[in-house]
Each structure stands twice: as structure tokens, then as C-alpha cells.
Structure 1
Amino acid sequence: MADDAPVGGFAGRLGATLQESDDGSATLTFQAADEHLNPAGTLHGGVVATLVDTVMGQAVRTTTGDGEVPATSQLTVTYLRPGRPGPLEVRGRVRTRGEHLTICEADVEQDGRAVAHAVATFALLER
């Protein structure tokens, strides 16, 4: 997929940009701004959850056939340190792809430091 491709859905409305997506992996970038912060002044956990869910879904889509649609059935996000305004890199990868379920992982980094780690299960639905 081309660099700097727009991301659809909610993550796209937040401003996430798809950098690459191929062979069971994907990378997003995101510019955190004041509007993405919680009352404590750090990056809102819901924004982080949206980003990891989106990048893992994109990674799964690189492995699916025409009639398959990935749907998140479980998502666990471990927040490792507070995010701040500024650029984030979000990387997702397929760990195990089964016939009906796929397991993925994602990492969020800011300034070379881990912000969050996530694990998700995606159900593969037929259109």
C-alpha cells in the first residue's frame, strides 16, 4: 500500500495515516494534539485503543481473501507510559492466523519509547 494513505473510519477522523501495510503487518503514524488529551493532560486511552485496533485490523486485512472481513472480538491494551502531544508510531502484526480467528499484537511508540502494547483476537467473517 502507498505511503501516507488515509485511514478510513474513526481513526481516519482522528488523523491517523497508514504508512505501510503488507504481508501480515501494518504501520500507522499519528500526530497527538491537545484535542486528544484527557483531563490529566496525557494522551487519552481511547485514542490509543483506537490506533492499535485500527493497525491490527489493517494487518489482518493483508492476509484475507475477497469475502473475508476481520472483526475485533477481543482487545487488551497495556498502557506503559503516558503519551504526550507529538508524533506516534503504531505497528501491528499478525501473530497467528487461523481459519476463523486471528491473533495480533501492536506497539505504540513516541520518541523511541514504548507507550502501549496490545493484543487482539479478530474473527474472520464472511461478507
Structure 2
Amino acid sequence: MTRSRTYSWQDPGLSASAVGNESGLEFLRRLLTGELPAPPLTATLGFTLEQVEFGRAVFAMEPGEQHYNPIGSVHGGVYASLLDSAAGCAVQSALPAGTGYTSLDLNVKFLRPVTVDTGKIRSVGTLLNKGRRTALAQAELLDSEERLLAHATSSCMLFPVPPR
């Protein structure tokens, strides 16, 4: 039986043009409230930013069949996208105005399978260290019972972003 899914998104340039004009935490809070449009990836994969504070970001999603790999469980790339988003936003939440970041690496450990029966999952990112040029964050992917499904660490490069 064929299944289909339709979704929409807003112009990603609207949010991208705001990067660097305010602190990373202020920027993320504007995404959280909907003042700035969410990135298209969140619509594609169906996840949302649920919480943000200094050094911490939480994303959540309900796994669906559209996330499956050929063996009948959520594809590791979906895990990685959630973990990368949470770790990266944990870093971003600690950046001053005029500073941006990009991921240098992402090291993921898959611990448990995720299926539609898993229910809502959350990716919790935490800043571990922020220097002048790099930052280190971790993220945990958890089910509703707080069981660890996957873990990641991410190194990020920090760089100046001129106001736009």
C-alpha cells in the first residue's frame, strides 16, 4: 500500500539573515516562539525545537514510517540529524552576537532501535566547553522513559559573523 506525506516550509533566508545580529540564545528563542521560521530540515524530518536555555537545547519528534530504513527501524541519519541539531544549538545558545558556528565533526553511538512503537523521542544537547575558536557539545537521544537510545559528541568551529 502506497503512503504519502506533504509538508511545507518558509524561506530559510529569513532566519539565516538574523544570525549574528543578536546572541545565539536570543536567536534560538525567536525560532522557538515562531518569530523566525524554523529551518526546512525540521519540516522534512518532522522534529521541533522544544526548549532552549544557555548551554542546552532540546528537540523532539514522533518517529514515523517515513523515517524507516530497509530493515524496519528509524534510519541512523535521522538519529544523527536530531543529535547534531541539539548539540549544535547547545553551542549556539552560548554564543554572543556577531559569532557563528559550524560543526567540525559528529561522533554518534547507536544504542537502541527506534520504531513507530517507541513514541516521542527527545534529543537533549548540552554544551561541554566553549573556547575562543572551538566548542564541544554532547547530545543524548531519549525515549519517553528516559532510556538512552543514542549518544553523540560534536566539535564546532566558532567564527565571526558580521551583522546583516
What TM-score do you get using the length of structure 1 for normalisation?
0.91
Could you tell me how far 1:16 is from its partner in structure 2? 1.1
Match of 1:27 among 46, 58, 75: 58
Stretches of structure 1 that go unaligned for 5 or more consecutive residues are none
Q: Are the equivalent residues in 2 in contact too, given 1:7–1:16 (CA < 8 A)? A: no
Q: Of the candidates 62, 74, 87, which is equivalent to residue 93 of structure 2?
A: 62
Count of paired positions:
127
Shift of residue 125, structure 1, vs aligned partner? 1.8
Say whether 1:114 aligns with 2:137.
Answer: no
How many angstroms apart in 2 are the aligned matches of 1:12 and 1:77? 23
Q: For 1:126 and 1:12, how far apart are their aligned partners in 2?
A: 29
Q: Is the 8 A contact 1:11 1:50 kept in 2?
A: no
Identity %: 28
Q: Is this contact kept in 1: 2:110–2:151, CA < 8 A?
A: yes
Kindly tell me: are residues 9 and 53 of structure 1, through their superposed partners in 2, closer, same or farther at Cα, counting changes over 3 Å? farther
Query: Hey, which of these two has a bigger chunk of strand by percent?
Result: 1
Q: Say which structure is richer in helix.
A: 2
Equivalent residue letter for 1:71: T
SS of 2:120 mapped into structure 1: strand
Relative to the length of structure 2, the TM-score reads 0.72
Q: Does 1:123 align with 2:154?
A: no
- Contact 1:88-1:109 within 8 A present in 2 as well: yes
Q: How does 1:12-91 map to 2 (within 5 A)?
A: 12-85=43-116, 86-91=119-124
Find the aligned partners of 1:37 and 1:22 in 2 and give their Cα distance: 31
1:37-94 superposed Cα distances (whole Å, 9 cap, x missing partner): 1111111000010111111111111111221111000110000011111311110000
Question: Is contact 1:11-1:54 (8 Å) kept?
Answer: no
Q: Which runs of 4+ in 1 moved over 4 A?
A: 2-6
* 1:65 alignment partner, SS class: coil
| 1:83 counterpart SS class | coil
Pairwise CA RMSD: 1.7
Task: Specify whether residues 30 and 121 from structure 1 end up closer, same or farther in structure 2 by C-alpha distance, changes over 3 A only.
Answer: same
Partners in 1 of 2:61 and 2:106 — Cα distance? 20
